[in-house]
Amino acid sequence: MTSVRTSGSRAATSRRASTTRPAETVRTRRDEPPRHRRGGSDDASGLRVVTWRVRSISNGWPGVVLGGVALMAVLFAVAVGGTLVIGEQAHIDRTNARIAAAEARAQELRAELAELKSPQYVTARAATVLGMIPAPTPVYLQPRPTDDERAAEVPPVSPPPRSAQPARPTGTSTGTR
């Protein structure tokens, strides 16, 4: 809102008004017609007809409806997004629980494997299940000094042993006697 200063001398006010705008063209609102100076109207009484443009809500109802629909669509999308996030979080929680259970089972299996690999378990199992007995004190072989010389020798080939002729099956045979 632009107005003319009333304080000060009349000459300063008139100079300022003449440099900026004439008083007739000063507007206080966008839709308001220009104001006239007192006593300077064309009408002798100084009165004029003021027309105001009245905006009604009925002219903007499509925008209000579309805005409401858009707002509802956005709220619905937010609700659907929240539901999807909650569903995915439940899936993640189930997967994390399965991972924790698998890690616990893996730890149990590692402990069981260590027990099965222990020498005490192997010897006890061999004696009880397989009927094996522990070996007596081991005997270590000591090489002789001449073993290096004989290491390059090829052992002689011995003929295969003769075996007795296979026995004939007993029973009835078809053929000549």
Question: Which residue range(s) make up the domain with 88?
Answer: 61-124
Residue 130 in domain: no
**How many CB atoms within 10 Å of residue 44?**
6
Asked if 45 and 67 touch (Cβ cutoff 8 Å), the reply is no
Sequence-ordered list of residues with C-beta below 8 angstroms from that of 125, at least 6 positions apart, any chain = none
Per-residue confidence at 17, pLDDT binned at 50, 70, 90? very low
- Dmax (CA) for the chain in angstroms is 167
CA distance 19 to 4: 11
pLDDT tens profile 30-85: 555 555 555 445 556 777 777 777 666 566 778 888 999 999 999 999 999 999 99
Count of residues making up the chain = 177
Same domain, 89 and 49: no
Residue 88 in domain: yes
pLDDT tens profile 99-140: 999 999 999 999 999 999 999 999 899 989 988 988 788 888
What is the secondary structure of 58-74 as a DSSP string? GGGHHHHHHHHHHHHHH
Residue 19 in domain: yes
Task: Output the six-digit token pair for 37.
Answer: 């100076």
